[in-house]
A and B are shown apart, each in its own frame.
Chain A
């Protein structure tokens, strides 16, 4: 039987020495990263191209990946950022009217090592029980103890430092809707998903995408109506320089909307604390309660760190995760800012919280009106 690439063996080696055996797909070679699992049953291309996964080896718990092929329209950034990819089965003959290539071809082009035909559920359970861990994917034969030991050593010492710097834009990108009196958003790119941009454009905003280390003066020069702090990879506490910048953004007084890493950076800037989670939240089914509306929304999530605390005097917790009670959203008291841990831009995932973009727009509108009034 010739279906799928069964010609090349591939291995997953975990930090604790455990080996899972499968077959290679995508690129050949060896790759090291933190292994995380995501439970979404759709949206694999969105996952592969979400910069927040930068440096991580992603495991799909859903066993059939690549069924509807690859379409560049669904990419969340210009390339794939994952360090490696693990699936149960990939689809050689995808079927969808927008399909342009197979997931295998995509990974080869992106030079990403993939392993398939492994017990993905066993691996997921392992990560759930032991917490996230480092691991390697390799097409080298690791039955040789020497090779294995050497790789294991690399795995143990592997650390991705400040990945935001790898994924952020180097220069400005301008997106104009040409609408009269359009709100102008300064989008600080910590590794933004394109759908954040698309949502803002859909709401009629002009958007300037700016690098992660943008200073307040650069922002002021644009005189935007609001600032968007985007999602991105890594430990928020690793970015004291960015946090200092955010403190300046806050003083500027324009409405701020933070998502995911943006939410965490904002919290740290306001005196909050963040914490690494055992195995994070990655999936499209996370229930989040909006405490003000007393309603639960299903959200798309991808984070390994969470806001552990935020001083009561500066902020109100607006959203919590229904599964584990972790912080999912904050409204700041004396400043015009609100942030969420989940992804209201969805893609992949449910669009149920898209209304938050509207909230951000309303705040910017409000600001424009007030400024106009001030002038009169």
Chain B
């Protein structure tokens, strides 16, 4: 069936901000969808609140709304745009839930909008626990004994019947939020209570635990003609019990015989057929390792994180095909882009193995509960392709940028055997490393298996790596099997540098070859420029380059930014992708190197060639050897790419844009101070230190408070404001736990308005597309601040100074391309606090609101074009008529024990944008989009630290005037009373009941404003208060500035309905 003739215009719903459980994979899916639909001749309307996405780019859709993803907003857009259909299955759980609500209310029917992809019955059958079970029963597919309950008592009754341990799974929550294992009644009660609250339909599923079973996934597709195919099978390294998003995953399945494989494949196809999904579907199974028993655990009738992984693992573009199916096409009439000759109606086969490794945020959240379970905690992931599991695993470890090149981790090396044995029982982010250490020490494989329940196949493969590492260390390379050892080590993924490091011997360089990812194991000729490295005979990339690469074109390497982590998110992928696109337009060949399967940059049709590889010097060396690039662009891949500069220079690959020594100058404290001095630009006084003693001395000289951070930082990694000696000691204690390669920077902390600028320079001219002013005073990481474009409170003088300083700095550093500068306006004086000689996380957002394609311009500049020859002007660009407010989004609900108080260390995982005619409205939109429920009446709970008490008075006054009832803890309450503001005094968490915990549980409070001098430690009252606010889903503000901005917004008396929607392509 061709395109549905009744469809002319389709609404695509994005997934909103990046949060744990819903990350960049939906930008990838949405972008593919928009492209496919436009190619099919449809008019595309897009709504997504996330400005860092590629899908919200001008050319991706005909109409683009960066608006809060609420039911009302989507309704207004539908009324305005009158689409014929709505695509529900590509915007993650957010998109699916919204579409479902619209359908269920009858709104879609009323407005003649078709629900495309999956209809409401399908979604209910898959997502409603009861209906799911019933559906499985109907088609004879086994499920785990379970019961949906709506009360804690029912949960306990059922668990008594089936026996503990049981699993609790809340209905309709992201990444399984609020679920968990309960091994006794007490735990069950606690988890169930939490799960019920988080579930939008107040349902949780209680089921019998099937711990130890293999977890297997199938990605399947179906069209309206009932053609069904399997795209990919995946096997989890960890048995059932750890969320697949937190598990190491391999594709295809490794330990299943054809009988077991076909049994589950048939089951998956039966399920998708019964559900009637038109598009992609993910089926998760538990398989008893001792027999043919299995159970269907979960079905996602939509494109998911796993389908992004399956797409990248096989080369089969699931999101694109799913979109085409949704608008009427069938699998037999869609072509396989990779071969160009065969249809999409087939099952990909691969001739390599893929390993996915999660990236967790625990390096940032030192005090977070790291235990892995049914609730996902990873922020991102990497994928590695290899000829063997060992090789792919080693590549994955390198790609994850954890700071090591094998699975050996110092901390475990130092453990005694007893401690290690104990550690094997823990299911946390470092499990694989503990196992590795145990294997290294020759612990009995069966013992490890019995404890971890991980399949022997995986353990044995890890053992190969451990034994190799041990042999390299103990036997070196000098014995008669030395050469063989090197050969095998290379084949199983050891880098030459690793072999040399371990064996303390030098070896002659050898370069890997590259093989193609082609969906068909070489059965058909493929023209996909998608490669991975291995050690083998034939370099397929050589043939490809000979036949497909244009010798007259310049070949430019563009680095992606690796896994999504706090501080280095989807924004950098946006930049890499745009850079590649522009390079193609400039007549060059763009070669992308990246390892993140969730991204657009790792789509094989984004660049001229894609190398799916770790971003380490030696891995890049192999690519350079094959490609012989004319240059490399490092400004768009975040700090990951910047770190490669030195090695690229060694390899004689020219760095395009700002020269390496100037990039260095911006990051080297002394050099940079010198430059600032020459430019006459003030900055807070500072020093560099290596030890706690030095730090204490420096802090005293500078005067508290001081800002401490390691040099070469990203996302404010390990950055704090120290108010006294104790803070300095605690911080230095943590940071010196790792080896210090670079010094710690210590600066005088200057409070004031923080301002951020992204500028493009060509060596002669510069262009500032827009200035962003932060709502929060300096001290909160720029990534966690609310940023406003254009600035609302800066004087012309200040703006002029900022522009002038930008110009001077760009000149002094001889910037060619991008520069990001952060300023603080302290007592009217403009100070520079940070300079990044590269693209920053604000680039996508500011590009969109100013309509100046920053990455495009910067790329052209790096390729030698001049700003004056482009139509965007120079200097500071004129402000536009709209105000855009970027609001950070956090994933605190997923991370237990993490203190939510904002500081200089970045904690947000994503962002949203509010666009409106004025600041108040834009902020209102932003706050709503970020998940706040903005009530205009109710209660505000204020509990602030000493130095905020003065400011709290005026804030409380504003809320009082707005009609809110004020609650406060003792100190704050007294302070308010002094100024005639009435408040109800509430006791702290640790004080006798009723206390603030009860208040938060009582629904009397809409907003919690909490600051404290002490942070981080989960046992502090203030931290508990903030955690409680997060768990209750209350509006939580840990800066008075943010709270004041909220008040400003509320004071307008407007609600979202009163604020005009903005279509990006028409402003």
Residues in A lying within 8 Å of B, measured CB to CB:
1, 3, 6, 20, 37, 39-43, 45-46, 61-64, 67-68, 71, 74, 88-89, 91, 93-98, 118-122, 124-125, 128, 283-287, 289, 294-296, 298, 322-323, 346-352
Closest to A69 in B: B257
> Does the CB pair A287–B266 fall under 8 Å?
no
> Does the CB pair B538–A322 fall under 8 Å?
no
Q: Which of A61, A287, A289 contacts B351 (CB 8 A)?
A: A61
Bound complex: CA of A203 vs CA of B304, how far in Å?
A: 39
Q: A67-B254, A89-B388 are in contact. List 15 more A-B contacts (CB 8 A).
A: A3-B467, A39-B520, A61-B522, A67-B457, A95-B255, A95-B457, A96-B255, A96-B257, A121-B522, A122-B540, A124-B523, A287-B229, A296-B332, A323-B524, A349-B258
A241 to chain B, nearest CB (A): 34
In the complex with contacts A61-B521, A63-B352, A323-B346, A43-B258 CB distance below 8 A: yes
**What are 17 contact pairs spanning A and B, CB under 8 A?**
A37-B523, A39-B521, A41-B252, A43-B257, A45-B257, A61-B351, A61-B523, A95-B456, A121-B521, A121-B522, A121-B540, A124-B351, A125-B538, A128-B522, A287-B347, A350-B266, A350-B347
> Does the CB pair B521–A20 fall under 8 Å?
no
> Does the CB pair A125–B522 fall under 8 Å?
yes
**Interface check B97, CB cutoff 8 A:** no
**Interface check B552, CB cutoff 8 A:** no
In the complex with contacts A1-B467, A64-B389, A88-B387, A121-B351 CB distance below 8 A: yes
> Does the CB pair A74–B259 fall under 8 Å?
yes
Q: Which of A68, A74, A119 contacts B255 (CB 8 A)?
A: A68
**Interface check B848, CB cutoff 8 A:** no
CB-based closest 9 A-B pairs = A122-B538, A43-B258, A95-B457, A61-B521, A285-B347, A119-B537, A348-B258, A42-B258, A287-B346
> Does the CB pair A61–B257 fall under 8 Å?
no
> Does the CB pair B351–A46 fall under 8 Å?
no
**Interface check B1003, CB cutoff 8 A:** no
> Does the CB pair B252–A68 fall under 8 Å?
no
Residues in B lying within 8 Å of A, measured CB to CB:
225-230, 252-262, 265-266, 269, 289-291, 331-332, 341-343, 345-353, 387-389, 455-457, 460, 464, 467-468, 471, 481, 484-485, 488-489, 515, 520-525, 536-538, 540
> Does the CB pair B265–A350 fall under 8 Å?
yes
Residues of B within 8 A of A350 (CB): 230, 262, 265-266, 347
Main secondary structure of the interface of A (DSSP, over half): loop
Residues of B within 8 A of A39 (CB): 349, 351, 520-521, 523
Residues of B within 8 A of A118 (CB): 537
> Does the CB pair A40–B262 fall under 8 Å?
no
Residues of B within 8 A of A296 (CB): 227, 229, 331-332, 343, 345
B164 to chain A, nearest CB (A): 26
A347 to chain B, nearest CB (A): 7
Residues of A within 8 A of B260 (CB): 96
> Does the CB pair A64–B536 fall under 8 Å?
no
- Which of A62, A74, A121, A349: most chain B Cβ within 10 A? A121
> Does the CB pair B457–A41 fall under 8 Å?
no
Q: Which of B347, B348, B388, B538 contacts A121 (CB 8 A)?
A: B538
Closest to A346 in B: B262
> Does the CB pair A95–B455 fall under 8 Å?
yes
Residues of A within 8 A of B332 (CB): 287, 289, 296, 322
> Does the CB pair A74–B471 fall under 8 Å?
no
Bound complex: CA of A91 vs CA of B456, how far in Å?
A: 12
In the complex with contacts A63-B353, A68-B255, A322-B522 CB distance below 8 A: no
Closest to B257 in A: A68
In the complex with contacts A20-B537, A74-B257, A121-B536, A93-B460 CB distance below 8 A: yes
Closest to B389 in A: A64
> Does the CB pair A298–B457 fall under 8 Å?
no
Bound complex: CA of A76 vs CA of B484, how far in Å?
A: 38
Q: Which of B343, B348, B484, B520 contacts A6 (CB 8 A)?
A: B484
Residues of A within 8 A of B225 (CB): 294-295
In the complex with contacts A1-B484, A120-B351, A283-B349, A68-B536 CB distance below 8 A: no
Q: Which of B290, B471, B481 contacts A97 (CB 8 A)?
A: B290
Q: Which of B331, B349, B455 contacts A41 (CB 8 A)?
A: B349
Closest to B261 in A: A42
Q: Which of B343, B460, B520 contacts A322 (CB 8 A)?
A: B343
B344 to chain A, nearest CB (A): 9
Bound complex: CA of A318 vs CA of B260, how far in Å?
A: 31
Residues of B within 8 A of A6 (CB): 484, 488
Residues of B within 8 A of A1 (CB): 464, 467-468, 471, 481, 484-485, 488-489
Closest to A324 in B: B342
Bound complex: CA of A40 vs CA of B521, how far in Å?
A: 9
Q: Which of B226, B256, B343, B353 contacts A42 (CB 8 A)?
A: B256
Bound complex: CA of A3 vs CA of B228, how far in Å?
A: 41
Residues of B within 8 A of A294 (CB): 225
> Does the CB pair B522–A298 fall under 8 Å?
no
B681 to chain A, nearest CB (A): 57
Residues of A within 8 A of B259 (CB): 74
> Does the CB pair B226–A295 fall under 8 Å?
yes
Bound complex: CA of A39 vs CA of B521, how far in Å?
A: 7
Bound complex: CA of A63 vs CA of B492, how far in Å?
A: 13
Bound complex: CA of A296 vs CA of B389, how far in Å?
A: 33
Bound complex: CA of A37 vs CA of B523, how far in Å?
A: 9
> Does the CB pair A74–B258 fall under 8 Å?
yes
- Which of B387, B489, B524: most chain A Cβ within 10 A? B387
Residues of B within 8 A of A3 (CB): 464, 467, 488
A143 to chain B, nearest CB (A): 17
Closest to A129 in B: B525
Residues of B within 8 A of A45 (CB): 257
Bound complex: CA of A289 vs CA of B345, how far in Å?
A: 10
> Does the CB pair B227–A295 fall under 8 Å?
yes
Residues of A within 8 A of B388 (CB): 63-64, 88-89
B490 to chain A, nearest CB (A): 12
Residues of B within 8 A of A351 (CB): 262, 266
- Which of B258, B265, B468, B540: most chain A Cβ within 10 A? B258
In the complex with contacts A128-B522, A350-B262, A61-B349 CB distance below 8 A: yes
Bound complex: CA of A39 vs CA of B347, how far in Å?
A: 11
Closest to B467 in A: A1
- Which of A94, A128, A286, A350: most chain B Cβ within 10 A? A350
Closest to A117 in B: B491
Bound complex: CA of A93 vs CA of B449, how far in Å?
A: 14
- Which of B343, B345, B468, B471: most chain A Cβ within 10 A? B345
Bound complex: CA of A99 vs CA of B173, how far in Å?
A: 40
A223 to chain B, nearest CB (A): 35
A332 to chain B, nearest CB (A): 25
Bound complex: CA of A322 vs CA of B256, how far in Å?
A: 28
B233 to chain A, nearest CB (A): 8
In the complex with contacts A42-B258, A347-B258, A62-B521 CB distance below 8 A: yes
Residues of B within 8 A of A96 (CB): 255-257, 260
Q: Which of A61, A63, A298 contacts B229 (CB 8 A)?
A: A298
Residues of A within 8 A of B521 (CB): 39, 61-62, 121, 124, 283
Residues of A within 8 A of B290 (CB): 97
Q: Which of A63, A285, A286, A349 contacts B262 (CB 8 A)?
A: A349
Bound complex: CA of A292 vs CA of B950, how far in Å?
A: 81
Residues of A within 8 A of B230 (CB): 298, 350
Bound complex: CA of A121 vs CA of B259, how far in Å?
A: 26
Closest to A124 in B: B522
Bound complex: CA of A161 vs CA of B540, how far in Å?
A: 36
Bound complex: CA of A286 vs CA of B341, how far in Å?
A: 14
> Does the CB pair A286–B457 fall under 8 Å?
no
Closest to B525 in A: A128
B1026 to chain A, nearest CB (A): 46
A177 to chain B, nearest CB (A): 22
